[in-house]
């Protein structure tokens, strides 16, 4: 019998001869599977081919994928660094987490608090974020609404209920007397962001546009506003509620605005609800995601098995 192959499907720029290296998490995943008998290869991602599968006993890992079938796990960075998806449906708003039920009372409060403290030490105390942030400290007055722009990308465009300018206009239609701080995406500044910044400079010069460190912005914010930015989760570490203007697998612990008319009530609920932030972070990141800072091969094998992986046909001998 021909041995099945574990294939990692990535865009062309991440291939072995491409301009970017594979993320270390992917390298460790392939090395770990090779050590227990799997034949592994890295191939260019081809959704048409993937969706015609499964192909024999082969098992497919898909970078930033949304392939929903047996013998597949979709990989990608989750909202905080060192946490990754290994999901049967997709990542972000297309992940299986979006359909799960979050039960806060089922999460031990002491374990959630311990985990959150570790995250705060790493991200808040270290002034770190998913994207590079300036070292300079910027002071903001407290009580502002913090809007985080993401500009156009395919996943953002498919997830959002309205575009970035409409989101900003909706918030500014009723700020409840609060100041507004807007941070453009540090890596994705395109036509949409330029249009928003020009609109603000002409129509709302009172709005602060800044590239300050996200933790300086979050420290005094009363809410984060975004389509579905990782900063929404970073805000939870600060105890700041999230208001999302797009579909998201963070919806269990956030308010969602689908139409401009939804904004006032969503903002009111965001500021008055008792949010289970620590329990949600524990549930989402520690229980549902893969934590690359800890040994993770056993969890990958569990998820592969749940997705119909034939270990003998793949040559895999799971460790005891």
104-145: pLDDT as tens digits: 999 999 999 999 999 999 999 999 998 899 999 999 999 999
> 304 CB contacts (<8 Å, ≥6 apart)?
59, 73, 311
Mean pLDDT throughout 182-187? 93
Share of the chain above pLDDT 70, in %: 100
Q: Given the structure tokens 């612990």, which residue do they identify?
A: 253
> 127 CB contacts (<8 Å, ≥6 apart)?
133, 135, 213, 215
Report d(CA 81, CA 84) in Å as an integer. 8
Q: Which helix (H) or strand (E) holds 144?
A: strand 144-148
For CATH 3.40.50.2000, list the domain ranges present in the chain.
Answer: 106-283
| Class of CATH domain 106-283 | alpha beta
Among residues 154, 168, 155, the alpha carbon closest in space to that of 196 is found at 168
| Residue 317: HSE in the Cβ half-sphere, 13 Å Cα cutoff | 4
The angle formed by the CA atoms of residues 132, 146 and 134, to the nearest 5 degrees, is 20
Report d(CA 167, CA 240) in Å as an integer. 19
Report d(CA 224, CA 144) in Å as an integer. 9
Share of the chain above pLDDT 90, in %: 93
Residue 2 pLDDT level (bands cut at 50, 70, 90) = confident
Residue 236 pLDDT level (bands cut at 50, 70, 90) = very high
Tokens of 242: 């999230």
User: Which is it for the CA torsion 57, 58, 61, 66, positive or negative?
Assistant: negative
Q: For residue range 241-268, what is the model confidence (pLDDT) as tens digits? A: 999 999 999 999 999 999 999 999 999 9
pTM metric for this prediction: 0.96
Tokens of 9: 């499907």
Point out which residues pair with 87 in neighbouring strands: 74
Does the pLDDT of residue 60 top 80, yes or no?
A: yes
Q: What is the pLDDT of residue 17?
A: 85
Residue 1 pLDDT level (bands cut at 50, 70, 90) = low
């Amino acid at each position: 019998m021909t041995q099945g192959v574990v294939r990692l499907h990535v865009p062309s720029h991440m291939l072995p001869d491409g301009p970017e290296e594979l993320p270390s998490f992917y390298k460790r995943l392939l090395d770990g599977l090779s050590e227990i008998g799997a034949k592994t290869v890295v191939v260019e991602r081809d959704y048409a081919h993937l969706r015609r599968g499964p192909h024999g006993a082969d098992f497919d890992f898909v970078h930033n994928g949304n392939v929903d079938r047996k013998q597949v796990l979709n990989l990608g960075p989750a909202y905080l660094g060192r946490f990754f998806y290994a999901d049967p449906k997709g990542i972000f708003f297309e992940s299986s987490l979006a359909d799960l039920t979050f039960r806060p009372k089922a999460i031990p409060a002491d374990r959630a608090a311990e985990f959150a403290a570790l995250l705060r030490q790493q991200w808040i105390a270290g002034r770190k974020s998913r994207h590079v942030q300036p070292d300079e400290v910027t002071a903001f007055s407290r009580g502002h609404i913090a809007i985080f722009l993401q500009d156009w990308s395919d996943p953002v465009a498919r997830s959002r209920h309205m575009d970035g300018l409409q989101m900003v206009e909706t918030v500014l239609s009723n700020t409840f007397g609060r100041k507004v701080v807007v941070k453009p995406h540090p890596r994705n500044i395109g036509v949409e962001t330029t249009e928003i910044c020009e609109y603000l400079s002409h129509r709302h010069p009172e709005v602060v546009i800044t590239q300050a460190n996200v933790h300086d912005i979050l420290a005094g914010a009363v809410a984060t506003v975004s389509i579905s930015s990782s900063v929404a989760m970073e805000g939870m570490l600060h105890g700041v509620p999230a208001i999302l203007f797009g579909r998201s697998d963070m919806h269990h612990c956030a308010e969602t605005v689908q139409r401009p008319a939804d904004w006032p009530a969503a903002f009111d609920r965001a500021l008055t609800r008792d949010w289970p932030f620590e329990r949600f972070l524990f549930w989402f990141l520690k229980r549902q995601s893969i934590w690359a800072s800890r040994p993770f091969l056993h969890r990958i094998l569990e998820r592969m098995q749940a997705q119909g992986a034939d270990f003998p046909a793949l040559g895999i001998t799971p460790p005891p």
